[in-house]
Structure formats: structure tokens, C-alpha cells
Amino acid sequence: MDTTVDLDTFSSLVERPDESARRAAEERWQELDRPRNGLGRLEELGAWLSSVQGRSPVRPLSAPKVVLFAADHGVARLGVSRLPAQGGTAARVRAVLDGTAPVALLARRFGAGVRVVDVAVDADAADFPGEVTEHRVRRGSGRIDVEDALSPEETAKAFRAGMAVADEEADAGTDLVVLGDLGVGATTVAAVLVGALCGTDAAAVTGRGSGIDDRVWMVKCATVRDSLRRARPVLGDQLALLGATGGADFAAITGFLLQAAVRKLPVVLDGVVSAACALVAQRIAFRAPEWWRAGQSSGEPAQAKAYDRLTLTPLQEQGITMGEGVGALMALPLLQAAADTLAEKMPELFVPAAPKEPARLPTAAELLGKL
């Protein structure tokens, strides 16, 4: 298998959102007989949606999708989470699939679809539907404090799987992705990546994750410390970093974020896991964060450090730490309201130029060869 991915390609292919559409959206508000900044954050969000859609007036959000990448992590065996290391992730996947998980309930309420992508759940693939496991890379991952999470081949495969999922969603007409994760031990891995990329020590990025007590926090902190020692020598190579101290879900999410930016598909980030992947992706394509918004602040210190580096301000302060995209999903009504408000029939203050044939955006397969 080809273990190489030309990361330099993304820097040239990721464009900035349409600044003229953003300005047109802002001008619509300024010329209307309404209080200046009367709708506060909704005005800024509406302008951002105009820019990522490349048009004004903005289109209402009609096809939002929650996309959850699921994987197990070897460090969970050290007891760094309150959730069970054996079977905990698989149980959460089943709860989403049967519609009983909070993210499934809220998605129905807000009119969003839900998709689970199993890239490394430590369970029999036959336990889940084929569409869930079609991008699976392996079962679980290595214990990153003492060994690599993935081989170079597996890292490339996971990264390309994330790119393929972004293509599938863009081709299906998804107009906004709420990005989340399912995986016991994932906040430990995220803390390692953020700590390595931000040059901080373990204590500064290790949070309470699933609600751990002081004793477990000390175990988690020591695990992050040992993993940081393994991360620092490969900081200059993002794929090597994801393979050494990440996991299949982290590699896939990073690939997803970058290809979503190439395909001009906006993304709302959830917790510390998606924030860590966004930080890795920013190293690869510096313009990519302009296609993302931070859904909420979970209170995890690593998430705060990542968003500070990304210059992203969380839309809400919900303190939701469970992952699953729940925190980001709570921001969806805010974005829907912003789109609906600016999309209402108003005096036509912006007349777009004659429509041009849209440029065809490259798929992951075209960029990197057959997946």
C-alpha cells in the first residue's frame, strides 16, 4: 500500500471563503431599517455562511449532517477514563445507531442527519451495519505512551478515509457538517497532540474528560507526559505525528477537515478531539480554519489552547464534555437562525453577477489516487 500523502497539495487547493459574499451580507444589514448590530452574533454568523456558500442572500441550511468518527484507543487500558475500556466505544456507537443517544435525539429535534464512521472500534465489524464499517482501518490502536498508535500504512489509510467521507458528504448535498467523535480515551490522545503542537507540558493540557477524580487525573497526566516524549521527535511530520501519538479517528478527522475545506463544505467543531485535529490540519493548510466554527467550549484546557492557536471563538459556553458532537449540535439552531434571518425576503440590495459555471473541485481519489 502507498503510505505517502502529498500534504503540500492542500495548502494550494484550500481557498479562502468568498469575501465579496461576506461583504454583501454585511451591507444587507447596514442598509436595512434595523438597529445596527441588533442581532449581535447572528449577523456575523450569517455573513460567514454567505462567505462559505459563496453567495448573498445566504441559503437556509437545509441538509445539515452530524458526522461521528468512532475508534478505540490503547491508552484507555490504563484507566484514564470513567468509561469502560472494553466495549465502551462499541456501546456508544450502538446507542447512536438505535437512536437513544443524546446526539441522535437532538439531531432529530434540529432536523439533522447522523452518520457514524467506524475507523477503529475494537469490536467485530459484523456488529455494525456495512455503511458504518466500510472505512474501518483496524481494531483499536496502540498504547501511545509506549508504542505507535498506527503503522504508516494505517495512518495513510485513515487519513484518506476521512477525505473520502468529506467527498461523500459534499457529493450528497450536505450543506453543514457537525463534527464529533466516539471513543474511550480520546481526550487523552487529544491532550497529547495539543500539548505537542503548542509546546506545553502535560499538566497544562490534561483535563477531566469523562469526569475523572484527582487520582485518575494523575494517571492521565503521567500518560500524556510519557506520550509527549514520543510526539516531540516527529512534530515536523503531521502524518508521522498522527501515527505515533494519534489514532485512526484523529488521522481520519484531520483528512476530513482538510478535504471538506477543499470542497468548500463548512464544519462546526465539537470538543477537544476535533479541536486537536483542527490544529494538526492548520499546520498543513493555514487557510483551512476559515471554513470551520467552534461549536462550544467544553472546559477542557487543551481545547482552549487549540482554539486560541486557531483564533476560533466558541459559539457557546455549554460545558458539554461527552463528545458525540452534542456540544457542536447545540450550536446548530444558532446557525440555522442566522441563515434564516439573512435569507428572508428583503429589499434586494445585492444583485449577483451572471452565474458562472462553478469550478469543479478535486475529490480525494483524484488528489491521492484510488483509495
CA nearest neighbour of 150 among 252, 284, 255, 222? 252
| Cβ(222)–Cβ(202) below 8 Å | yes
Indicate the range of 15-19, 291-295, 353-357 predicted with least confidence: 353-357
pLDDT in tens, 51-106: 999 998 899 999 999 999 999 999 999 988 888 878 999 999 999 999 999 999 99
Report H helices in the chain: 8-13, 19-31, 41-53, 88-97, 102-110, 130-133, 152-172, 186-198, 202-205, 214-231, 238-245, 248-262, 272-284, 301-310, 326-329, 332-343, 364-368
pLDDT in tens, 278-289: 999 999 999 999
Q: pLDDT category, 211, cuts 50, 70, 90?
A: confident
pLDDT in tens, 110-156: 999 999 999 999 999 999 999 999 999 999 999 999 999 999 999 99
| Cβ(244)–Cβ(154) below 8 Å | no
pTM of the model: 0.90
Tell me: pLDDT of 33 over 60: no
Q: How do the residues of the chain divide into helix, strand and coil, expressed in percent and rounded to 5?
A: 50, 10, 40
* Set 324, 344, 348, 357: catalytic member: 324
Let me know if 147 is a catalytic residue. Answer: no
What average pLDDT score do residues 181-196 get? 95
Rounded distance between C-alpha atoms, residue 190 and residue 250, angstroms: 8
- For the chain, list the domains and their CATH numbers: 64-334 (3.40.50.10210)
Q: pLDDT category, 209, cuts 50, 70, 90?
A: confident
Q: pLDDT category, 253, cuts 50, 70, 90?
A: very high
For residues 61-94, b (16+ Cβ closer than 10 Å) or e, as one string? Answer: beebbbbbbbbbbbbbebebbebebeebbbebbb
